[in-house]
Structure 1
Amino acid sequence: MAADFRSGARAKRPDRHPHPGKRPRRQTVLARRRGGTIVRPGAGGDRLRAADRSAAPRQGRRRGFRRAARQIGLQRLAAAVERTGRIRHGSGIGARNEKLRFRKGRIQRLAAFPRRFVRPVGRSERRFSAGEATVLHAPRTGGRRTRSRRAGGSVSVRRERRTGNAMLKPLHDPANGPLRVAGFMSGSGTNLRRILEFERERRRRGERPSFEVVVIFSDNAQSQAAAIGADFDLPVVIRDLAGYYRARGLPRKDMKAREQFDAETVRALAPFAVKAVAYAGYMSIATRPLIDAWLGVNVHPADLSIERDGRRVFVGAHAVRDAIQAGEAMIASTTHIVEAVVDGGRLLMISPPLPVEWPAGTRPGDAAALAAVADHNQERLKRAGDWVIFPRTLHFIGLGRFAQDEQGRLYFDGEPTPKGHKIEKTEI
């Protein structure tokens, strides 16, 4: 029957197809995604994108195609996570009533999958079984595995953050509670006092603590550790290093004895469940037992990002003096991770630059007054540098803002910081 063009009416379709042998197969929608509709392939209706056709069977039972459609959805989801570092709002995959949906980076709904399905995608493996799913998730902070209930099923989420092609793991996951810190000291402990005051001030304002000092340790029986512990109601452990060597008749340079001392210190602090150590004026070299046991954070009175021929310039106990003697007009403090090389650990934060000040009666280049000038500026730097970045470094670690990739490179808020995170006065 021909169409009536004058009335705009369309001709009725004949009851029987004019060519029964060439009738297109019925299209069955199996999975809908934002990018379009996936339909069952066949003569007259293969709407899979060209890049996806190799992953779907040309012919076969519906069960086989549904499995292939799910593979395609997972591949697209994995590619989106690796490309953007997050799961977009409302993105999801599914097949008929089997749907796993994400909204704003969180699982919204999970319906039980009827059969076990395993498909390796990239570096992760997505598993779907009866009511259970394991998915790669990319939230803002990331870092741990959690289990929760959704629609009668169990969901295990590996919370890690992906930046570009790098999988980032935070130095501490705030979901595990505040970072438990041990304060190590050898002398007056002024840096440790400032850390404790920073923590106490946040509690006084009603803010959730990001870290908490749970124990004080000192290797010097003459230090102020007991006084600080009494002032802040903290347990104190003192193991005098000089007495340790003297009792065994060993010289202080015996590093094997030092490793044994540190191993015993680790066992002594085990009941406190320490996760990190703040080396706040700890004058002994940390050996492998301490480094392997906990994350160590130290502050150094110099800008460790300054290098010459690939080596850090201002290291050691006389860093301030060396910087002034080298003609540096500005000095700064640096927090870094404690590692095997002294002052050679990965950089965390660098304080705002502080102009070198020459006291009255001295002038630049005065070698005789250099020691006094260095002491004067080191005390200024302690207040303007150490006391600013040391507690904030622990605070940011406790918030999960510092992370590392598979190669151990550090990131701050997802951005690589090979030279440390330098802060300005406006950030204090």
Structure 2
Amino acid sequence: MLTVAVLISGTGSNLRALLEAAADPAFPARIVVVGADRQADGFAHAEAFGIPTFLVPFREFETREQWGEELDRQLRVWNPDLVVLSGLMRLLPASVVDAWAPRIINTHPAYLPEFPGAHGVRDALAAGVTQTGASVIVVDNGVDSGPVLAQERVAVLPDDTEQSLHERIKPVERRLLIDVVRAVASGELQLSAVASDAAAS
């Protein structure tokens, strides 16, 4: 059984979907802990499912590196097989990425490498494109630059706002995330092989 830690910053809608999927006895992964960099509303989902939580408040540390050291320490208490970034709005320090890679994955509301960064949906609208998408990637030390594990296109409608477009992307993100976690847990998807292929290319 694959053990998973999920890191959040906000409402945790992807976390909720993953918790619901993992509640099925046939699902080959279990969430063992949920962590956050601030007091996040998404903790309520963890509590509803009886999942332990931990908080490493970013603003209580002098540097990103010190925050990362404590985050890494908390993760090591649980020693998960996989770390999922689910709306964590902080770039992880290289020390954390290096310690857990390639076992850290993230979702992004764009069809990477298109529109990386914190405003993928807004940037897609500003560019006037007719389609964007959702992606699940391996986290590396760049900004949304890791190997793509799964992605799917989402149409941009003429009257879309940032909110309406994001609301249509979110269900795709959730479905892709669940599919990737299932594939990793079943052995169908080997993260180490994906990372090796990316490094060689």
Fold match by TM threshold 0.5: yes
Report what 1:211 is aligned to: 29
Q: How far has the Cα of 1:357 moved from its partner?
A: 2.0
Indicate the SS of the match to 1:332: strand
Indicate the SS of the match to 1:343: coil
Report what 1:182 is aligned to: 5
Match of 1:261 among 31, 44, 67: 67
Indicate the SS of the match to 2:196: coil
Assess, with a 3 A threshold, how the Cα gap between structure 1 residues 262 and 330 changes in structure 2: closer, same or farther.
Answer: same
Q: How far has the Cα of 1:192 moved from its partner?
A: 0.6
Unaligned stretches of 5+ in structure 2?
A: none
Contact 1:181 1:277 in 2 (8 A): yes
When normalised by structure 1's length, the TM-score is: 0.43
Relative contact order: is structure 1 or structure 2 higher (C-alpha 8 Å, sep ≥ 6)? 2
Flag the structure with larger Rg: 1
Contact 2:18 2:174 in 1 (8 A): yes
Report what 1:299 is aligned to: 107
Report what 1:400 is aligned to: 187
Distance 1:400 1:358 in 2: 41
Matches within 5 A, 1:321-336: 321-336=122-137
Q: How far has the Cα of 1:406 moved from its partner?
A: 9.4
Task: List per-residue Cα deviations over 1:204-247 (Å, max 9, x = no partner).
Answer: xxx2x3211100001102x12431221010101012112x14xx
Q: How far has the Cα of 1:354 moved from its partner?
A: 2.0
Assess, with a 3 A threshold, how the Cα gap between structure 1 residues 346 and 271 changes in structure 2: closer, same or farther.
Answer: same
Unaligned stretches of 5+ in structure 1?
A: 1-177, 251-256, 305-311, 360-371, 411-417, 419-428
Report what 1:226 is aligned to: 43
Give the AA of the match of 2:55.
I
Report what 1:83 is aligned to: none
Q: 1 or 2, which has the higher strand percentage?
A: 1
Q: How far has the Cα of 1:281 moved from its partner?
A: 0.6
Report what 2:154 is aligned to: 354
RMSD after superposition = 2.0
Whether 1:290 aligns to 2:96 is: yes
Contact 2:13 2:42 in 1 (8 A): no
Contact 2:5 2:33 in 1 (8 A): yes
Distance 1:258 1:240 in 2: 11
Distance 1:408 1:266 in 2: 23
Report what 1:340 is aligned to: 141
Distance 1:407 1:296 in 2: 11
Assess, with a 3 A threshold, how the Cα gap between structure 1 residues 343 and 406 changes in structure 2: closer, same or farther.
Answer: closer
Match of 2:174 among 378, 383, 387: 387
Q: How many residues align?
A: 196
Give the AA of the match of 1:188.
T
Q: 1 or 2, which has the higher helix percentage?
A: 2
Give the AA of the match of 1:224.
D
Report what 1:240 is aligned to: 57
Report what 1:279 is aligned to: 85
Assess, with a 3 A threshold, how the Cα gap between structure 1 residues 407 and 218 changes in structure 2: closer, same or farther.
Answer: closer
When normalised by structure 2's length, the TM-score is: 0.89
Q: How far has the Cα of 1:376 moved from its partner?
A: 1.2
Q: How far has the Cα of 1:263 moved from its partner?
A: 1.3
Contact 2:107 2:177 in 1 (8 A): yes
Matches within 5 A, 1:97-136: none
Contact 2:134 2:154 in 1 (8 A): no
